[in-house]
Amino acid sequence: MIRLSFVPPAPIRRLRDLTRYRVALVADASAEKNRDEKLLEDAQIKLSVVASDIRSVATSS
């Protein structure tokens, strides 16, 4: 006989879905940031020399 597959309870399945979704969103955001930086470098604008993160927002106090 074949053993039945383990199906976790609904809350665990929802948590896993949310975790997978978050990982995908972070990957998409990183890819978009890299595309932006590459576009600027292709235009001979090298911001990474001046700023460690080109998408960060500086606030003055």
Mean pLDDT of 3-14: 93
What is 1-61 written as a DSSP string?
Answer: -PPPPP---HHHHHHHHHHHHHHHHHHHHHHHHHHHHHHHHHTT--GGGT-S-TT------
36 versus 1: the higher-pLDDT residue is: 36
pTM above 0.75, yes or no: no
52 versus 26: the higher-pLDDT residue is: 26
Tens digits of per-residue pLDDT, 18-51? 999 999 999 999 999 999 989 988 998 887 777 7
